Structure 1
Protein backbone atom coordinates (compact mmCIF):
# COMPACT_ATOMS: atom_id res chain seq x y z
CA UNK A 1 0.00 0.00 0.00
CA UNK A 2 1.35 3.42 -0.93
CA UNK A 3 1.75 6.31 1.49
CA UNK A 4 -1.14 8.11 -0.17
CA UNK A 5 -3.35 5.03 0.23
CA UNK A 6 -2.44 4.67 3.92
CA UNK A 7 -3.21 8.34 4.58
CA UNK A 8 -6.54 7.99 2.79
CA UNK A 9 -7.35 4.83 4.75
CA UNK A 10 -6.62 6.49 8.09
CA UNK A 11 -8.68 9.53 7.15
CA UNK A 12 -11.62 7.26 6.30
CA UNK A 13 -11.25 5.25 9.51
CA UNK A 14 -11.14 8.47 11.54
CA UNK A 15 -14.26 9.69 9.76
CA UNK A 16 -16.11 6.46 10.55
CA UNK A 17 -14.96 6.49 14.19
CA UNK A 18 -16.20 10.07 14.55
CA UNK A 19 -19.52 9.05 13.00
CA UNK A 20 -19.90 6.23 15.51
CA UNK A 21 -19.05 8.61 18.36
CA UNK A 22 -21.46 11.28 17.12
CA UNK A 23 -18.62 13.72 16.49
CA UNK A 24 -17.72 16.02 13.63
CA UNK A 25 -14.64 14.61 11.81
CA UNK A 26 -13.46 18.19 11.41
CA UNK A 27 -12.85 18.28 15.16
CA UNK A 28 -10.24 15.50 15.03
CA UNK A 29 -6.82 15.93 13.42
CA UNK A 30 -4.10 13.44 12.60
CA UNK A 31 -0.53 14.26 13.64
CA UNK A 32 1.91 12.10 11.63
CA UNK A 33 4.72 10.69 13.79
CA UNK A 34 7.86 10.38 11.69
CA UNK A 35 10.32 9.07 14.29
CA UNK A 36 12.91 6.69 12.75
CA UNK A 37 11.71 7.48 9.22
CA UNK A 38 14.03 9.49 6.99
CA UNK A 39 13.46 13.01 5.73
CA UNK A 40 12.57 11.64 2.28
CA UNK A 41 9.46 10.07 3.85
CA UNK A 42 8.58 13.44 5.34
CA UNK A 43 8.85 14.98 1.86
CA UNK A 44 6.46 12.37 0.52
CA UNK A 45 3.97 13.23 3.25
CA UNK A 46 4.42 16.93 2.51
CA UNK A 47 3.47 16.22 -1.10
CA UNK A 48 0.17 14.91 0.28
CA UNK A 49 -0.50 18.24 1.92
CA UNK A 50 0.99 17.68 5.38
CA UNK A 51 3.05 20.39 7.04
CA UNK A 52 3.04 19.31 10.70
CA UNK A 53 5.03 16.32 11.98
CA UNK A 54 5.89 14.84 15.37
CA UNK A 55 9.19 13.52 16.65
CA UNK A 56 10.15 11.81 19.90
CA UNK A 57 13.78 12.86 19.94
CA UNK A 58 15.06 16.42 19.63
CA UNK A 59 18.20 15.35 17.76
CA UNK A 60 16.15 13.58 15.11
CA UNK A 61 13.89 16.62 14.74
CA UNK A 62 16.93 18.86 14.31
CA UNK A 63 18.49 16.61 11.67
CA UNK A 64 15.29 16.55 9.64
CA UNK A 65 14.70 20.28 10.10
CA UNK A 66 18.16 20.98 8.67
CA UNK A 67 17.66 18.53 5.80
CA UNK A 68 14.27 20.10 5.00
CA UNK A 69 15.17 23.73 5.67
CA UNK A 70 13.64 24.76 2.35
CA UNK A 71 10.18 23.92 3.71
CA UNK A 72 7.83 25.43 6.27
CA UNK A 73 7.36 22.35 8.44
CA UNK A 74 5.95 22.66 11.94
CA UNK A 75 7.79 20.24 14.22
CA UNK A 76 6.13 18.86 17.35
CA UNK A 77 8.03 17.17 20.18
CA UNK A 78 6.02 14.35 21.76
CA UNK A 79 8.72 12.44 23.66
CA UNK A 80 10.29 12.98 27.06
CA UNK A 81 12.25 16.23 26.90
CA UNK A 82 15.49 16.83 28.79
CA UNK A 83 16.29 20.39 29.81
CA UNK A 84 19.65 20.26 28.02
CA UNK A 85 17.78 19.90 24.71
CA UNK A 86 15.63 23.02 24.98
CA UNK A 87 17.97 25.20 22.92
CA UNK A 88 17.18 23.23 19.77
CA UNK A 89 13.50 23.01 20.72
CA UNK A 90 13.31 26.78 21.02
CA UNK A 91 14.91 27.09 17.59
CA UNK A 92 13.18 24.38 15.56
CA UNK A 93 9.95 23.25 17.24
CA UNK A 94 6.53 24.85 17.07
CA UNK A 95 5.02 22.78 19.87
CA UNK A 96 5.94 20.56 22.80
CA UNK A 97 3.34 18.01 23.90
CA UNK A 98 5.36 16.53 26.77
CA UNK A 99 5.62 19.38 29.27
CA UNK A 100 5.58 17.61 32.64
CA UNK A 101 7.70 19.48 35.17
CA UNK A 102 8.56 22.98 36.32
CA UNK A 103 12.30 22.92 35.60
CA UNK A 104 11.49 22.13 31.97
CA UNK A 105 9.04 25.03 31.79
CA UNK A 106 11.68 27.34 33.25
CA UNK A 107 14.35 26.16 30.80
CA UNK A 108 12.01 26.54 27.83
CA UNK A 109 10.96 30.01 28.94
CA UNK A 110 14.57 31.17 29.25
CA UNK A 111 15.52 29.96 25.76
CA UNK A 112 12.31 31.25 24.19
CA UNK A 113 12.87 34.69 25.68
CA UNK A 114 16.36 34.72 24.18
CA UNK A 115 14.91 33.69 20.82
CA UNK A 116 12.07 36.21 21.04
CA UNK A 117 9.36 33.67 20.35
CA UNK A 118 6.53 31.69 21.94
CA UNK A 119 5.80 27.97 21.89
CA UNK A 120 2.56 26.02 22.04
CA UNK A 121 2.65 23.44 24.82
CA UNK A 122 0.53 20.57 26.09
CA UNK A 123 0.85 19.21 29.61
CA UNK A 124 1.52 15.49 29.58
CA UNK A 125 -0.67 13.60 32.03
CA UNK A 126 0.11 10.14 33.36
CA UNK A 127 -3.29 8.51 33.03
CA UNK A 128 -2.30 4.96 34.02
CA UNK A 129 -0.27 3.32 36.77
CA UNK A 130 2.39 1.90 34.42
CA UNK A 131 5.87 2.71 35.69
CA UNK A 132 7.17 3.14 32.16
CA UNK A 133 4.81 6.05 31.49
CA UNK A 134 5.87 9.64 32.13
CA UNK A 135 3.80 12.71 32.85
CA UNK A 136 2.12 14.48 35.73
CA UNK A 137 -0.29 12.63 37.96
CA UNK A 138 -3.79 14.07 37.52
CA UNK A 139 -3.88 15.32 41.11
CA UNK A 140 -0.70 17.34 40.52
CA UNK A 141 -1.99 19.11 37.42
CA UNK A 142 -3.96 22.01 39.02
CA UNK A 143 -0.92 23.31 40.95
CA UNK A 144 1.30 22.86 37.90
CA UNK A 145 -1.04 24.92 35.74
CA UNK A 146 -0.83 27.74 38.27
CA UNK A 147 2.98 27.51 38.22
CA UNK A 148 3.38 27.68 34.44
CA UNK A 149 0.82 30.48 34.00
CA UNK A 150 3.62 32.93 34.84
CA UNK A 151 5.51 32.09 31.64
CA UNK A 152 4.24 34.24 28.79
CA UNK A 153 6.38 32.35 26.27
CA UNK A 154 4.41 29.13 26.86
CA UNK A 155 1.06 29.04 25.10
CA UNK A 156 -0.88 26.34 26.95
CA UNK A 157 -3.26 24.57 24.56
CA UNK A 158 -4.35 21.45 26.44
CA UNK A 159 -3.20 17.98 27.45
CA UNK A 160 -1.47 14.92 26.05
CA UNK A 161 -1.52 11.37 27.36
CA UNK A 162 -0.44 7.84 26.45
CA UNK A 163 -3.00 5.23 27.48
CA UNK A 164 -2.21 2.02 29.31
CA UNK A 165 -0.59 -0.68 27.20
CA UNK A 166 -3.28 -3.35 27.48
CA UNK A 167 -5.84 -5.24 25.43
CA UNK A 168 -8.55 -4.18 27.86
CA UNK A 169 -10.51 -1.58 25.92
CA UNK A 170 -12.32 -0.34 29.01
CA UNK A 171 -9.05 0.46 30.79
CA UNK A 172 -7.77 2.27 27.70
CA UNK A 173 -10.96 4.33 27.47
CA UNK A 174 -10.72 5.09 31.18
CA UNK A 175 -7.29 6.65 30.59
CA UNK A 176 -8.63 8.92 27.88
CA UNK A 177 -11.79 9.76 29.81
CA UNK A 178 -9.74 10.71 32.87
CA UNK A 179 -7.74 13.26 30.88
CA UNK A 180 -10.81 14.71 29.15
CA UNK A 181 -12.46 15.24 32.53
CA UNK A 182 -9.26 16.82 33.81
CA UNK A 183 -9.26 19.17 30.83
CA UNK A 184 -12.83 20.24 31.58
CA UNK A 185 -11.99 20.88 35.23
CA UNK A 186 -8.85 22.81 34.24
CA UNK A 187 -10.80 25.09 31.93
CA UNK A 188 -13.01 26.00 34.88
CA UNK A 189 -9.92 26.53 37.04
CA UNK A 190 -8.11 28.77 34.56
CA UNK A 191 -11.07 30.51 33.00
CA UNK A 192 -9.99 29.94 29.42
CA UNK A 193 -10.32 27.21 26.79
CA UNK A 194 -7.89 24.31 26.46
CA UNK A 195 -8.96 23.03 23.05
CA UNK A 196 -6.36 20.30 22.41
CA UNK A 197 -6.54 16.73 23.67
CA UNK A 198 -3.68 14.77 22.08
CA UNK A 199 -4.80 11.22 22.78
CA UNK A 200 -4.64 8.01 20.81
CA UNK A 201 -2.04 6.33 18.63
CA UNK A 202 -2.11 3.75 15.86
CA UNK A 203 -3.47 0.95 18.07
CA UNK A 204 -6.08 2.84 20.11
CA UNK A 205 -7.09 6.01 18.30
CA UNK A 206 -10.70 4.91 17.77
CA UNK A 207 -11.15 4.66 21.54
CA UNK A 208 -9.54 8.08 21.94
CA UNK A 209 -11.99 9.59 19.45
CA UNK A 210 -14.88 8.16 21.45
CA UNK A 211 -13.53 9.90 24.56
CA UNK A 212 -13.00 13.33 23.02
CA UNK A 213 -9.53 13.37 21.44
CA UNK A 214 -8.90 16.30 19.12
CA UNK A 215 -5.52 15.07 17.84
CA UNK A 216 -4.28 11.55 17.11
CA UNK A 217 -0.56 10.76 17.05
CA UNK A 218 -0.28 8.22 14.22
CA UNK A 219 2.98 6.63 13.09
CA UNK A 220 3.11 3.02 11.92
CA UNK A 221 -0.47 3.02 10.61
CA UNK A 222 0.56 5.80 8.23
CA UNK A 223 4.16 4.96 7.41
CA UNK A 224 4.30 1.20 7.84
CA UNK A 225 6.75 -0.85 9.89
CA UNK A 226 9.45 1.27 11.45
CA UNK A 227 13.05 0.77 10.28
CA UNK A 228 15.26 -1.13 12.77
CA UNK A 229 17.32 1.16 15.05
CA UNK A 230 20.75 2.07 13.77
Structure 2
Protein backbone atom coordinates (compact mmCIF):
# COMPACT_ATOMS: atom_id res chain seq x y z
CA UNK A 1 0.00 0.00 0.00
CA UNK A 2 1.32 3.47 -0.83
CA UNK A 3 1.64 6.03 1.93
CA UNK A 4 -0.90 8.83 2.11
CA UNK A 5 1.73 11.23 0.77
CA UNK A 6 2.35 8.96 -2.21
CA UNK A 7 -1.39 8.56 -2.79
CA UNK A 8 -1.83 12.32 -2.78
CA UNK A 9 0.95 12.65 -5.34
CA UNK A 10 -0.77 10.10 -7.55
CA UNK A 11 -4.11 11.89 -7.34
CA UNK A 12 -2.54 15.26 -8.11
CA UNK A 13 -0.85 13.63 -11.11
CA UNK A 14 -4.20 12.34 -12.35
CA UNK A 15 -5.75 15.78 -11.91
CA UNK A 16 -2.91 17.44 -13.81
CA UNK A 17 -3.07 14.93 -16.64
CA UNK A 18 -6.84 15.30 -16.93
CA UNK A 19 -6.60 19.07 -16.90
CA UNK A 20 -3.94 19.18 -19.60
CA UNK A 21 -5.91 16.70 -21.73
CA UNK A 22 -8.89 19.07 -21.49
CA UNK A 23 -6.78 22.12 -22.34
CA UNK A 24 -7.05 23.47 -18.80
CA UNK A 25 -4.56 24.75 -16.24
CA UNK A 26 -4.07 22.13 -13.45
CA UNK A 27 -4.04 24.70 -10.59
CA UNK A 28 -7.64 25.57 -11.54
CA UNK A 29 -8.78 22.31 -9.93
CA UNK A 30 -8.80 21.94 -6.15
CA UNK A 31 -8.54 18.59 -4.41
CA UNK A 32 -10.88 17.91 -1.50
CA UNK A 33 -9.72 14.89 0.50
CA UNK A 34 -12.81 13.00 1.66
CA UNK A 35 -11.86 11.79 5.11
CA UNK A 36 -15.20 10.30 6.22
CA UNK A 37 -14.78 7.17 8.39
CA UNK A 38 -11.02 7.81 8.62
CA UNK A 39 -9.30 8.68 11.92
CA UNK A 40 -7.79 12.02 12.80
CA UNK A 41 -4.31 10.48 12.63
CA UNK A 42 -4.71 9.87 8.89
CA UNK A 43 -5.98 13.40 8.33
CA UNK A 44 -2.97 14.74 10.21
CA UNK A 45 -0.70 12.63 7.99
CA UNK A 46 -2.36 14.02 4.87
CA UNK A 47 -2.05 17.55 6.25
CA UNK A 48 1.67 16.99 6.79
CA UNK A 49 1.88 15.98 3.12
CA UNK A 50 0.37 19.30 2.05
CA UNK A 51 -3.39 18.63 1.92
CA UNK A 52 -5.43 21.36 3.63
CA UNK A 53 -9.10 20.78 2.71
CA UNK A 54 -11.01 17.76 4.03
CA UNK A 55 -14.59 16.62 3.49
CA UNK A 56 -16.79 14.90 6.06
CA UNK A 57 -20.19 13.26 5.52
CA UNK A 58 -21.21 12.37 9.07
CA UNK A 59 -21.43 15.13 11.64
CA UNK A 60 -21.18 12.82 14.65
CA UNK A 61 -17.87 11.47 13.33
CA UNK A 62 -16.56 14.82 12.14
CA UNK A 63 -16.89 16.85 15.34
CA UNK A 64 -14.42 14.78 17.43
CA UNK A 65 -11.91 14.92 14.58
CA UNK A 66 -12.33 18.68 14.25
CA UNK A 67 -11.63 18.99 17.97
CA UNK A 68 -8.63 16.63 17.82
CA UNK A 69 -7.12 18.64 14.95
CA UNK A 70 -7.91 22.09 16.32
CA UNK A 71 -4.19 22.90 16.32
CA UNK A 72 -4.19 22.77 12.51
CA UNK A 73 -5.89 25.37 10.26
CA UNK A 74 -7.83 22.68 8.41
CA UNK A 75 -10.47 23.80 5.91
CA UNK A 76 -13.46 21.59 6.74
CA UNK A 77 -16.12 20.85 4.12
CA UNK A 78 -19.46 19.27 5.03
CA UNK A 79 -20.48 17.06 2.11
CA UNK A 80 -23.22 14.92 3.66
CA UNK A 81 -26.99 15.25 3.66
CA UNK A 82 -28.12 18.25 5.68
CA UNK A 83 -30.69 17.77 8.44
CA UNK A 84 -32.37 20.58 10.36
CA UNK A 85 -31.15 19.32 13.73
CA UNK A 86 -27.54 19.47 12.51
CA UNK A 87 -27.41 22.93 10.95
CA UNK A 88 -26.14 24.69 14.08
CA UNK A 89 -23.04 22.51 14.37
CA UNK A 90 -22.44 22.68 10.60
CA UNK A 91 -22.68 26.47 10.69
CA UNK A 92 -20.23 26.68 13.60
CA UNK A 93 -17.56 24.20 12.57
CA UNK A 94 -17.33 24.09 8.77
CA UNK A 95 -16.04 26.48 6.12
CA UNK A 96 -17.99 24.90 3.25
CA UNK A 97 -21.25 23.03 2.67
CA UNK A 98 -21.66 21.08 -0.59
CA UNK A 99 -25.08 19.46 -0.30
CA UNK A 100 -27.43 22.41 0.11
CA UNK A 101 -30.79 21.74 -1.57
CA UNK A 102 -33.46 23.36 0.60
CA UNK A 103 -34.11 27.00 1.40
CA UNK A 104 -35.18 26.01 4.93
CA UNK A 105 -31.72 24.61 5.61
CA UNK A 106 -30.05 27.60 3.97
CA UNK A 107 -31.91 30.01 6.23
CA UNK A 108 -31.01 28.03 9.33
CA UNK A 109 -27.33 27.88 8.34
CA UNK A 110 -27.28 31.61 7.68
CA UNK A 111 -29.00 32.50 10.97
CA UNK A 112 -26.77 30.14 12.96
CA UNK A 113 -23.45 31.16 11.40
CA UNK A 114 -21.41 32.90 14.13
CA UNK A 115 -20.84 36.58 13.41
CA UNK A 116 -17.14 36.19 14.17
CA UNK A 117 -16.75 33.82 11.20
CA UNK A 118 -16.86 34.72 7.50
CA UNK A 119 -19.97 33.67 5.57
CA UNK A 120 -20.33 29.92 5.07
CA UNK A 121 -19.32 28.92 1.54
CA UNK A 122 -22.09 26.92 -0.11
CA UNK A 123 -22.65 24.80 -3.18
CA UNK A 124 -26.19 23.88 -4.17
CA UNK A 125 -26.56 20.19 -4.94
CA UNK A 126 -28.41 19.50 -8.19
CA UNK A 127 -29.94 16.10 -8.91
CA UNK A 128 -29.34 15.57 -12.62
CA UNK A 129 -29.35 11.78 -12.60
CA UNK A 130 -32.96 11.46 -11.49
CA UNK A 131 -32.20 9.07 -8.63
CA UNK A 132 -34.98 9.25 -6.06
CA UNK A 133 -32.61 8.17 -3.28
CA UNK A 134 -30.18 11.00 -3.93
CA UNK A 135 -30.47 14.53 -2.58
CA UNK A 136 -30.37 17.62 -4.71
CA UNK A 137 -32.70 20.19 -6.17
CA UNK A 138 -34.23 19.50 -9.61
CA UNK A 139 -32.72 21.59 -12.39
CA UNK A 140 -35.96 23.47 -13.00
CA UNK A 141 -36.04 24.68 -9.38
CA UNK A 142 -32.38 25.66 -9.20
CA UNK A 143 -32.57 29.32 -10.19
CA UNK A 144 -35.22 30.18 -7.60
CA UNK A 145 -33.22 28.51 -4.83
CA UNK A 146 -29.92 30.02 -5.96
CA UNK A 147 -31.31 33.55 -5.99
CA UNK A 148 -32.75 33.10 -2.51
CA UNK A 149 -29.54 31.61 -1.09
CA UNK A 150 -27.52 34.41 -2.65
CA UNK A 151 -29.42 36.95 -0.52
CA UNK A 152 -28.73 35.30 2.84
CA UNK A 153 -26.12 37.27 4.84
CA UNK A 154 -24.55 34.30 6.60
CA UNK A 155 -23.89 32.38 3.40
CA UNK A 156 -21.76 32.87 0.31
CA UNK A 157 -23.05 31.01 -2.72
CA UNK A 158 -19.97 29.67 -4.50
CA UNK A 159 -21.35 27.21 -7.02
CA UNK A 160 -23.00 23.88 -7.74
CA UNK A 161 -22.44 20.23 -6.85
CA UNK A 162 -23.63 16.97 -8.35
CA UNK A 163 -22.99 13.22 -8.31
CA UNK A 164 -23.90 10.99 -11.25
CA UNK A 165 -25.09 7.44 -10.78
CA UNK A 166 -21.81 5.47 -10.45
CA UNK A 167 -23.48 2.45 -12.07
CA UNK A 168 -24.45 4.36 -15.19
CA UNK A 169 -22.38 4.26 -18.42
CA UNK A 170 -19.41 6.61 -18.63
CA UNK A 171 -21.09 8.76 -21.27
CA UNK A 172 -24.14 9.17 -19.04
CA UNK A 173 -21.88 10.29 -16.20
CA UNK A 174 -20.12 12.74 -18.50
CA UNK A 175 -23.49 14.11 -19.59
CA UNK A 176 -24.40 14.83 -15.96
CA UNK A 177 -21.16 16.75 -15.48
CA UNK A 178 -21.69 18.74 -18.68
CA UNK A 179 -25.25 19.45 -17.57
CA UNK A 180 -24.05 20.99 -14.31
CA UNK A 181 -21.55 23.16 -16.17
CA UNK A 182 -24.37 24.35 -18.43
CA UNK A 183 -26.53 25.20 -15.42
CA UNK A 184 -23.75 27.26 -13.90
CA UNK A 185 -23.40 29.17 -17.16
CA UNK A 186 -27.15 29.79 -17.29
CA UNK A 187 -27.22 31.12 -13.72
CA UNK A 188 -24.38 33.49 -14.46
CA UNK A 189 -25.86 34.70 -17.76
CA UNK A 190 -29.56 34.80 -16.95
CA UNK A 191 -29.64 35.39 -13.20
CA UNK A 192 -26.51 37.51 -12.89
CA UNK A 193 -24.89 35.27 -10.28
CA UNK A 194 -21.12 34.93 -9.97
CA UNK A 195 -20.24 31.27 -9.36
CA UNK A 196 -16.63 30.07 -9.21
CA UNK A 197 -17.09 26.45 -8.11
CA UNK A 198 -18.24 23.24 -9.77
CA UNK A 199 -17.91 20.51 -7.13
CA UNK A 200 -18.00 17.30 -9.14
CA UNK A 201 -15.83 14.27 -9.71
CA UNK A 202 -14.62 11.53 -7.37
CA UNK A 203 -12.03 8.76 -7.41
CA UNK A 204 -13.69 6.84 -10.24
CA UNK A 205 -14.75 9.66 -12.52
CA UNK A 206 -12.59 12.71 -11.88
CA UNK A 207 -11.23 12.73 -15.43
CA UNK A 208 -14.75 13.01 -16.85
CA UNK A 209 -15.60 15.79 -14.39
CA UNK A 210 -12.47 17.79 -15.15
CA UNK A 211 -13.11 17.50 -18.88
CA UNK A 212 -16.56 19.00 -18.25
CA UNK A 213 -15.20 21.91 -16.17
CA UNK A 214 -14.96 20.75 -12.56
CA UNK A 215 -13.08 23.12 -10.27
CA UNK A 216 -13.12 20.84 -7.21
CA UNK A 217 -12.90 17.04 -7.08
CA UNK A 218 -13.82 15.05 -3.97
CA UNK A 219 -11.48 12.08 -3.55
CA UNK A 220 -11.45 9.65 -0.65
CA UNK A 221 -10.69 6.05 -1.60
CA UNK A 222 -7.67 6.83 -3.76
CA UNK A 223 -6.10 8.80 -0.90
CA UNK A 224 -7.06 6.94 2.27
CA UNK A 225 -7.96 3.50 0.94
CA UNK A 226 -11.31 1.72 0.92
CA UNK A 227 -13.94 2.66 3.45
CA UNK A 228 -13.70 0.63 6.64
TM range (shorter): over 0.9
Deviation at 1:54, TM superposition (A): 0.4
User: What is the distance in 1 between the residues matched to 2:115 and 2:22?
Assistant: 44
What is the CA deviation profile of residues 62-81 of structure 1, one whole-angstrom value per residue up to 9, with x for unaligned ones?
11111111111111001101
| Segments of 4+ moved more than 4 angstroms | 113-117
Could you tell me the TM-score, scaled by structure 1's length?
A: 0.95
The answer for unaligned runs of 5 or more in structure 1 is none
* Residues 51-94 of structure 1: CA deviation (Å, up to 9, x unaligned): 21000112222111111111111110011010111111121100
CA distance in structure 1 between the aligned counterparts of 2:150 and 2:221, rounded to whole angstroms: 35
1:179-220 Cα offsets, whole Å, 9 max, x none, are 100000001133242010000111111100110000000000
Kept in 1: contact 2:31–2:53 (CA 8 A): no
Q: 1:92 — aligned with what?
A: 93
Q: Supply the distance in 2 between the matched residues of 1:150 and 1:212 (Cα, whole angstroms).
A: 26
Question: What does the per-residue CA deviation read over 1:29-52, in whole Å, with 9 as the maximum and x for residues that have no partner?
Answer: 110000000000000001011221
Please name the residue that 2:73 is paired with: 72
Aligned to 2:21, the other structure's residue is in SS state: helix
TM-score by length of 2: 0.95
Aligned to 2:154: 153
Q: 1:44 aligns to what?
A: 45
1:127–1:164 contact (8 Å) kept in structure 2: no
Secondary structure at the counterpart of residue 98 of structure 1? strand
Partner residue in 1 for 2:176: 175
Corresponding residue of 1:122: 123
CA distance in 2, matches of 1:115, 1:125: 30
Secondary structure of the corresponding residue to residue 131 of structure 1: coil
Equivalenced residue count is 227
Task: For residue 13 of structure 1, report the CA deviation from its aligned partner.
Answer: 1.2
Shift of 1:116: 5.7
Q: Deviations over 1:160-188 (max 9, x none)?
A: 10112225111000100111000000011
What's the counterpart of residue 144 of structure 1? 145
**Aligned-partner Cα distance in 2 for 1:92–1:48:** 23
Match of residue 63 from structure 1:
64
Does the residue aligned with 1:53 lie in a helix, a strand or coil?
strand
What SS class does the counterpart of residue 193 from structure 1 fall into? coil
